[in-house]
Amino acid sequence: MKMTLSRTVSTIAALGLFAHCARSTPPVAWTNPEPETFSFEATTVKRTDTAAPAAETAAATPAADSDAGAATPAGDSDAGAPSAGASATPAASSAGAPDSAARAAVRAALDAQHAALAHCYDEILSTAPEAAGRVNVEFAVSNANAVTRLDVRVEGEGGLAQARACIETAMRAVTFTGMPATGGVVRRSYSFVNPPIELTIAQPLEVRSRPAAAAAAAASAEAAHGVLTDAEVRNQLSVALPAMQACYATALRRARTAAGAGDMRVTLRPNGEVEAAAWSSSVEPIALMGDCLGAAVRAQRFRNSGTGATVRASVTFAR
């Protein structure tokens, strides 16, 4: 009996001690901190870009690009708990306030690869001149500044998808510094835009009549309507502009920064046909376009003037 009572008392004492310990020791909660998110506005890449963009466009990164369940900031602000290398309340650059230290470092790292992206675009445009669109890039970066994941999503047309491998190579060369203790997710969108070719015919044109030989004028069955005017010649030359732009696009494949002016001299027969077209320029890549431009102009038919004419036009090509 005494032994049973002793065991009962010992059991009750043990239960009491267990209950006391359970009340005095709170449970330990283990949490996995979310990585800080750096989302930047879309920036534009053109084939002629050779340096980092001076400023980004105002378009914000779409909310649809956010990670499910991640603490993604609204607009252009950073998210996550304060950590080493990041401001506790980083200000959004789109609002005109300075970047946090970590955000500024991320932006600089991305900007350093802008010229490489422009090179990728230039390479594609040499075979797919209509390539354009948007590329969304997302990095997962550890607190040791190592890229653990890279996603490149192309939303374009005209062959932009062919640039994906080159863009990935350029993005893998990005070197991040000063990432927060939680690591980070970096997002940026790039808009690839091919600037239109600019072709300018200087004002005024030089148009001079060429009196036809009496026999040739008499043999002409078409009625003459007077000397060609500057406006008439300009309007007819404008019909050849698409073909002349195509000549320039071909020249850009050999020299992507080719730009400059030259003189086009056109000789017209009395019936309006082009007898000859000569091109001269002091800029070597532009000077090589003579055969192509001559063919574009010779395909035109001007008004029958009965006298013919010589035309001199100064034409400027720019990207």
- Which pLDDT score, from 0 to 100, does residue 83 have? 35
d(C-alpha 236, C-alpha 238), whole Å: 5
Question: By the 8 A CB rule, do 60 and 94 touch?
Answer: yes
- Which pLDDT score, from 0 to 100, does residue 63 have? 35
- Which pLDDT score, from 0 to 100, does residue 51 have? 75
Question: By the 8 A CB rule, do 28 and 175 touch?
Answer: no
d(C-alpha 292, C-alpha 244), whole Å: 8
User: What burial class does residue 13 get, using C-beta atoms within 10 Å of its C-beta: 0-12 exposed, 13-18 middle, 19+ buried?
Assistant: exposed
What letter does residue 273 receive in the DSSP assignment? B
Q: How many residues does the chain have?
A: 319
- Which pLDDT score, from 0 to 100, does residue 306 have? 77
- Which pLDDT score, from 0 to 100, does residue 10 have? 57
Question: By the 8 A CB rule, do 190 and 116 touch?
Answer: no
d(C-alpha 163, C-alpha 289), whole Å: 28
d(C-alpha 217, C-alpha 306), whole Å: 6
Our CA angle for 207, 312, 297, nearest 5°, is 105
Phi, psi (5° rounding) for residue 197?
A: -70, 135
135: how many CB neighbours lie within 10 A of its CB?
A: 26
Q: Using 70 as the pLDDT threshold, list the residues of the chain that sit under it.
A: 1-32, 54-98, 196-200, 203-226
Q: Are strands 43-45 and 184-192 parallel, antiparallel or unpaired?
A: parallel
- Which pLDDT score, from 0 to 100, does residue 129 have? 76
Greatest Cα-to-Cα distance within the chain, rounded to the nearest angstrom: 150
Instruction: Give this prediction's pTM.
Output: 0.53
Nearest alpha-carbon partner for 306 in 278, 277, 273: 273
- Which pLDDT score, from 0 to 100, does residue 169 have? 95
d(C-alpha 139, C-alpha 37), whole Å: 10
Tokens of 291: 């055969």
The three-class DSSP label of residue 48 is: coil
Beta strand extents in 250-295 (DSSP E only): 260-268, 274-280
The three-class DSSP label of residue 62 is: coil
- Which pLDDT score, from 0 to 100, does residue 220 have? 46
275: left (phi over 0), alpha (psi -120 to 50) or beta: alpha
Nearest alpha-carbon partner for 86 in 96, 74, 77: 77
d(C-alpha 216, C-alpha 213), whole Å: 5
CB environment 96-133: b (16+ within 10 A), e (fewer): eeebbebbebbbebbbebbebbbbbbbebbeebbebbb
- The H or E element spanning position 44 is strand 43-45
- Which pLDDT score, from 0 to 100, does residue 41 have? 86
Strand-pairing partners, residue 138, are 151, 187
